Amino acid sequence: MKLYITDYDWSDSFSDPYIDWPISQVKQCSSSQWFNTLFIGFISMFLNAVALNSLAVNSVNSKNVRSVLPIKKSGLPNVSIVQLIQGKSLHRNYPNALPTLLSAIDDRTTVKINNDPVIISSFEDSIIFDHPFIFVNFADRKNWSFSDLEKRNLKKYLERGGFIYIDAGINAEFLRKNRSHGQHHSFADWEASPVVKDAFKQIFPGKKFLPLKRTHPLFKSFYSGLPDPNHLPDSVRDFVIEEKWPQGTYSAVALTLKGRVAVLATPIISMGWGKNHLGNWSTNIRFRIRESTTGLSDYLETAAYSGERYESTREDGEKDVIYCQKEALPAWANEPDDRWRVFRYYQSREISDFAHVFYTQLGTNIFMYALTH
C-alpha cells in the first residue's frame, strides 16, 4: 500500500566530517594537536573533494542514478547524524526517509556515514556537540518555543560549526492551519514559518532567515542540475525545468553565521526519500503545475471560489495571491504581473520516480554542503 502525496505532492571551532573528532573535544586540544588536526583535516578534505567531484560527474551523467555502483569503504562509520523527534517516535511522518537517504549518501559518496540517526527529544541533550548535523522534520517537534538550556546549546552548537536542517520549515500560509498539510505539500515559498522565525530570533536577535539564491553552492555540492527530464511527460516537463526546479534548485531560506549557512529550512522534501523493506519507494508523488490560456485572466478575475484566499511569498519578494477551492488545495493564482494561472495536477509512474530521484539528490546536496562547510 502506498501513500499518495503531491507537491501538494500527495503522495569558530573546526568541525569537519573527515576528522574523527567531535565538536565537544576540539576545544580541549593543545596548540600542536590543533595545528596537526587542521593540517590532516585539510589534506583529507582535499582528497575527498577530488573523489567526490569524480563521483558527482559520473552520477550526474548517469541516466539512472540508482544504477551507480556503491563506493567500497572499510572501517566503522565516522559520521553520525542527529534527528530530533519530540514525543512518540512511532507516530511520525516518513519514518524510513532519513535512514534511506543516509544509506544513499553512504553508497554514493566517500563519507562513511551511519545509516541510523542518533535520536534526541530536545536540544537540551549535550550529545548534539558530538555530531555535525541535526535533522528535524518540522512536524516532529510540537512546541517550537526553546527552553533556556536549548537556547544556550543551540547558540554554542551553531557558532562552533554545527548545522540544522528543518524539513517542512517553510509552510505556505494556506498550509498552516493543520500541521499535517505541510507534510504532503511541497509548495514553493520563500519565507520561513512564523514559529521557526520567532524561535531562532530568540537566539540570534540580529539575524533573519533570507531566501537562498539559486546560485548558492549548496545546490551543486554533489549533484548538479536535474535528473534526466526527458523521461517526464510533455505536460509537465517545461514547467519543471523552467519554473518548478530550475537547474536542480528548490525554494529555501537560510540563517547564516560568518558567511556559512547554519540553519536551513525548506518545504517538505523527506516525503521523497523513503523506501520500504522491499526497496520500493514508500510514496507516490504527483506534480502541481501552473497553466494558463487565452482569456483565462478575464474569467478568473471574477470567478467564485469556495475556499479561502492567501498570500504566498515569491523568490523576488513579491506576493502571489492563492485561491483555494478546498482547504489546502490551491485552485488558481493571481501573480504580481496580473497574470492568472490555474493549478493542474498530474500523476504517473515517470513523474513519481523523477521526483524521488530529485529529492534524493537535493537531500544529498544539503548533507554534503553541511559536512564540508
Tell me what pLDDT residue 325 has.
82
What's the mean pLDDT in 169-173?
Answer: 92
Instruction: Indicate the pLDDT class of residue 280, thresholds 50, 70 and 90.
Output: very high
Is the per-residue pLDDT at 327 higher than 90?
Answer: no
Unique residue bearing C-alpha cell 500560509: 173
Ordered structural domains, the chain, with CATH: 3-282+350-371 (3.40.50.12140), 288-348 (no CATH)
List beta partners, residue 313.
319
Task: Give dist(CA 212, CA 175) in Å, integer.
Answer: 21
CB 354 within 8 A of CB 315: no
Task: Give dist(CA 185, CA 191) in Å, integer.
Answer: 15
How many angstroms separate the first and last alpha carbons of the chain? 40
Tell me what pLDDT residue 78 has.
85
User: 3-state class of 107 per DSSP?
Assistant: helix
Instruction: Indicate the pLDDT class of residue 329, thresholds 50, 70 and 90.
Output: confident
Task: Give dist(CA 236, CA 287) in Å, integer.
Answer: 8
pTM for this model (two decimals)? 0.82
Distances 284 to 140, 200, 226, 274 between C-alpha atoms, Å: 22, 34, 19, 11
What ranges make up the beta strands (E) of the chain? 3-6, 9-10, 82-84, 118-120, 133-137, 163-167, 210-211, 253-257, 260-266, 283-291, 309-313, 319-326, 329-334, 340-346
Instruction: Indicate the pLDDT class of residue 68, thresholds 50, 70 and 90.
Output: low
User: Among the listed ranges 138-147, 177-186, 313-322, 358-367, which one has the minimum average pLDDT value?
Assistant: 177-186
